[in-house]
Structure 1
Amino acid sequence: MKKSLEIDEKIFQDAVKFYGTVLNLPPLASKIYSYLIFDFDKVGITFDEFVEVFSASKSSVSTSINLLLNAELIVDVNKMDERKRYFFANDDYKKIRFEKIVQKMQDELKLLDDLKNFRKTEHKEADERFEVYKALLNKNIKNIQESLNKL
């Protein structure tokens, strides 16, 4: 079996490094995810192709695929009259990713408010920095949510 996708090695390596870091993925999972990004025509990639392309064991590929499925980075489909599963990059992941970022910022805002309310003393300089940081978080939440509505 040969690669069913045409990939640019430099872009692929850059993607592996980027997604491995940003999404905190182990190397093989990052390679699988990056490989799927090159599936522009959405034909899907089979498990066997991953094993062959990456010269990895079936158990390693299986573990990486399960991690990516659980993280909602990829989806799988069984095509009619075939036992094989085909894997695709999850087109909704960008939206899911930014929804998680917004939730983390909202959680941080709540924590910051709780800490400020708990603190017994006033500290003008710290309070000013606190308000600037809160404004930054709120502005980013608003911007992200407006963009998500367009997706």
Structure 2
Amino acid sequence: MDKEERKQRLIEELGVHFETEYSLPPLAARIFANLVVTDELGLTFEDCLEKRGASKSSISTSLNLLLQLGMITYFTKSGDRRRYFKIADKSDFFIKKLEQALKKAGNESKMIQKVAAYDQENNPEKYEQYKQKIEVYIECLNQNKKTYQKTIETLGKLF
């Protein structure tokens, strides 16, 4: 398998990962994957069109979605009216993903505690049956929140 075939397989694998993990539509996921593995400083709209073989409107919609999500940015070159798309600053991207995970863990913890409080008051038998498991789960969420917060702080200092 030559270099280009390996690159295309990686783009496809990354695309599936981004679809699943970031809930991206397939085309946007593949464009993002292309931007992650490109050797270029950035890709133009035309480059994305050529590499993905989709319609202009589909490419435009996907690029706009990635821009809105903060996953990509663009720059221009002096004397060139085209926009060059690239992945957003990695530190910003990583921090945003960790902040989302932190928020998700916090929301999960609050909801589990609300359900437990409801059960404690309205269904004591059920509460007692699951109390220990809930405590372990809440502790796990709290540890994850601490880890996410520490990692966000560390990344913030590195970049």
> Does the TM-score normalized on the shorter chain lie above 0.5?
yes
| C-alpha separation in 2, matches of 1:10 and 1:55 | 16
> d(CA) in 1 for partners of 2:21 and 2:38?
21
Larger helix share, 1 or 2: 2
Alpha-carbon separation, structure 2, partners of 1:132 and 1:19: 31
Q: Deviations over 1:93-146 (max 9, x none)?
A: 121011011101111112222222233133323111110000000011111221
Equivalenced residue count is: 146
Q: Which runs of 4 or more aligned residues in structure 1 lie more than 3 Å from their structure 2 counterparts after TM superposition?
A: none
1:116 maps to which residue? 116
Pairwise mapping of residues 30-49 of structure 1 onto structure 2 (< 5 A)?
A: 30-39=29-38, 43-49=41-47
**Separation in 2, partners of 1:21, 1:39:** 21
Deviates more, 1:97-106 or 1:112-121: 112-121
Amino acid at match of 2:17: F
With over 3 angstroms needed to count, the CA separation of the structure-2 counterparts of 1:7 and 1:71, relative to structure 1, is: farther
Q: What secondary structure does 2:81 align onto?
A: coil
Q: Secondary structure at the match of 1:8?
A: helix
Q: Residue type matched to 1:87 in 2?
A: F
- Name the CA distance, whole Å, in 2 between partners of 1:55 and 1:13: 14
TM-score, normalised to structure 1, is 0.87
**Aligned residues: CA RMSD:** 2.0
Residue 86 of structure 1: CA displacement? 0.9
Shift of 1:26: 1.4
**Letter of the aligned partner of 2:107 in structure 1?**
D
How far is 1:14 from its partner?
A: 1.1
1:23 corresponds to: 22
Task: Determine the structure 2 residue equivalent to 1:68.
Answer: 66
In the alignment, the residues of structure 2 paired with residue 14 and residue 116 of structure 1 have an alpha-carbon distance, to the nearest angstrom, of 40
Equivalent residue runs for 1:92-107 within 5 Å: 92-107=92-107
CA contact (8 A) 1:29 1:68 kept: yes
Structure 1: where are the runs of 5+ without partners? none
| CA distance in structure 2 between the partners assigned to 1:135 and 1:76 by the alignment | 41
Structure 2 CA distance for partners of 1:98 and 1:129, relative to 1, 3 Å: same
Task: Tell me the distance in 2 between the aligned counterparts of 1:116 and 1:135.
Answer: 14
In structure 2, stretches of 5+ residues that fail to align are none
* Equivalent position of 1:149 in the other structure: 153
